[in-house]
Chain A
């Protein structure tokens, strides 16, 4: 289909709860998401609201990324649902095409189980982080809503001891 413009905050679509998608009716959205994601060199995921569709659809593909350990390849997430999250979590720095020039430390579970397209997939590490970041977009949540620390953990502990 087409590479679409990526909306940036404060576009209202980015802070909106997205509507459930009709699984047979989102082929165009999925194609646009994949085309647009692939048009950015370091982009490993994109959610429908970022390109103007307020629907619960996202794509993730971390194949070839240095932090990809056992990637599932291209994942098309239609109406994805997180069914389990690990207790263990990790802080890592994230950026987002919808918030250009900003990065922040975000704490997320190390593992998550996500149901989509009639199957349940267990995700680990970086891939889990990416999928959770995209699902956040479907709920109108940006990584800035989840900032864990503004400085390094080491210094944070020192400051608040």
Chain B
């Protein structure tokens, strides 16, 4: 059985050790995971495989204890069945400009309209409050049916303009 475990809370040493320790008590094995600091909050996403006999309620209760100890907001655990990795990324897309609400949505909607799948997305808001800069970096899987993507991205607008750069993902198999 595969479980998705998520948690977020103020960053401090020991969070990963506590979560993985709790999972190990149930013979859980961490498969793919991603954990990172977002605005000082430590965000955790794990896919864990546990024996079929494992009791989801018990695991959940044990993780809840860890959540209370580390003050993690909303630690969740839920079974996941579909683990198909799907098509890998083909392009890297960078978008940046003066911050305004709706930038992520505009870009995502534009990509979705062309059936482009986002496989990785990270954003940062930097600069001071008078001149905030917004940067989005993503990896996307562009189907061959998607045409005119660069032109559509060039049409994005915002105060001071929005720059978008789409490049083929360079991975060298050496």
A: residues with CB less than 8 A from B are: 40, 42-45, 67, 92-97, 103, 126, 129-130, 133-134, 143, 151-152, 154-155, 158-159
**Cβ-neighbour of A43 out of B37, B124, B135, B173 (below 8 A):** B173
Are B126 and A44 in touch, CB under 8 angstroms? no
Q: Which 3 residue pairs are nearest across A and B when measured between Cβ atoms?
A: A133-B174, A95-B173, A103-B171
What would 15 more interface pairs be, CB under 8 Å, given A94-B174, A95-B174, A134-B174? A43-B174, A44-B173, A44-B174, A45-B174, A92-B172, A93-B170, A93-B172, A95-B171, A95-B172, A97-B173, A103-B171, A126-B172, A151-B36, A152-B122, A155-B122
Interface residues as binary, B35-66 with A (CB distance below 8 Å gives 1, 0 otherwise): 01100000000000000000000000000000
Q: Return 11 A-B CB contacts under 8 Å, by A number.
A: A67-B170, A92-B170, A93-B169, A94-B171, A94-B174, A126-B172, A129-B172, A151-B122, A152-B137, A155-B124, A159-B37
**CA–CA, A130 and B171, complex, Å:** 12
**CA–CA, A97 and B173, complex, Å:** 7
Label chain B's interface by main secondary structure.
strand
Q: Which residues of B contact A134 (CB under 8 A)?
A: 174
**CA–CA, A154 and B126, complex, Å:** 11
Are A130 and B174 in touch, CB under 8 angstroms? yes
Nearest chain B CB to A74 CB, angstrom units: 15
Q: Which residues of A contact B174 (CB under 8 A)?
A: 43-45, 94-96, 129-130, 133-134, 143
Interface residues as binary, B131-174 with A (CB distance below 8 Å gives 1, 0 otherwise): 00001010000000000000000000000000000000111111
**CA–CA, A44 and B171, complex, Å:** 12
A-B contacts counted at CB < 8 A amount to 48
Are B173 and A42 in touch, CB under 8 angstroms? yes
B: residues with CB less than 8 A from A are: 36-37, 122, 124, 126, 135, 137, 169-174
Nearest chain B CB to A4 CB, angstrom units: 17
Chain A residue at minimum C-beta to C-beta distance from B92 = A152
**CA–CA, A89 and B172, complex, Å:** 17
Are B172 and A158 in touch, CB under 8 angstroms? no
Nearest chain B CB to A54 CB, angstrom units: 19
Are A158 and B171 in touch, CB under 8 angstroms? no
Nearest chain A CB to B84 CB, angstrom units: 14
Nearest chain B CB to A67 CB, angstrom units: 7
Chain A residue at minimum C-beta to C-beta distance from B174 = A133
**CA–CA, A152 and B167, complex, Å:** 15
Q: Which residues of A contact B135 (CB under 8 A)?
A: 154
Nearest chain A CB to B122 CB, angstrom units: 6
